[in-house]
Structure 1
């Protein structure tokens, strides 16, 4: 476990992870409901199909985030939470507060984004 995290900080992060998980599950449920086939005229169906594609894409993104949250909750239980999956260093509490499901320190994440050409903070 991240040696720099206090018990209170770990509990705060767990509470945050559970809240974000609940919100994601609600968003995913709404997106699934929106995926129901549209019952409209030709123009409505075209518009509905675009909306359905967006909802499916959002559901896929949310599912990936949900998996990361579940991984973080498991790591809290097994004592490996807050350690960078790449270099093994402790991830600072301030970073975990911003993104409690992160699995990488800033240096490793930045290096990965540069090599992959990504700019998001995932």
Structure 2
């Protein structure tokens, strides 16, 4: 568990640094708003991209924080839907995962049937993790 917690803490630090860097770039783009229409459109697109990346990073940060809390509460590694032990390979690949592969697959199938699967915002857990 110690190895996974350290990995989560490293991921958390990296994401926080990335968010801070993105915010710095976004603030810089706002202060440099002088220019022609093409420059303005480019800067606006960049601001939107930084915001989108920031939201994804913040979501991942919340997942990491939740995983660390579960480690501290001795609940880490259990699927939050069915309670089964999540495979070690899956936990090493996605240390912030909350679902076993079976429950995650079922969630994706259900979302696909309901038409709620958001392909424009890929979640790291949606990767092919067969065998994990």
- What TM-score comes out, normalization by structure 2 length? 0.81
Unmatched runs of 5 consecutive residues or more in structure 1: 1-9
Determine the C-alpha separation between the residues in 2 that align with 1:34 and 1:116: 35
Mapping of 1:63-74 within 5 angstroms? 63-74=58-69
Say yes or no: does 1:92 pair with 2:82. no
Determine the C-alpha separation between the residues in 1 that align with 2:25 and 2:44: 10
Which position in structure 2 is the counterpart of 1:5?
none
Unmatched runs of 5 consecutive residues or more in structure 2: 126-132
Shift, 1:40, TM fit: 3.0
51-60 or 111-120, which moves further after superposition? 111-120
Aligned residue pairs: how many? 113
Shift, 1:43, TM fit: 1.7
Shift, 1:115, TM fit: 1.2
Shift, 1:39, TM fit: 2.4
Determine the C-alpha separation between the residues in 2 that align with 1:66 and 1:100: 12
CA deviation map 1:60-104 (0-9, x unaligned): 000000000000000000111111011010111110000000000
Change (3 A) 1:23 1:30: same
Determine the C-alpha separation between the residues in 1 that align with 2:124 and 2:80: 15
Determine the C-alpha separation between the residues in 2 that align with 1:46 and 1:59: 20
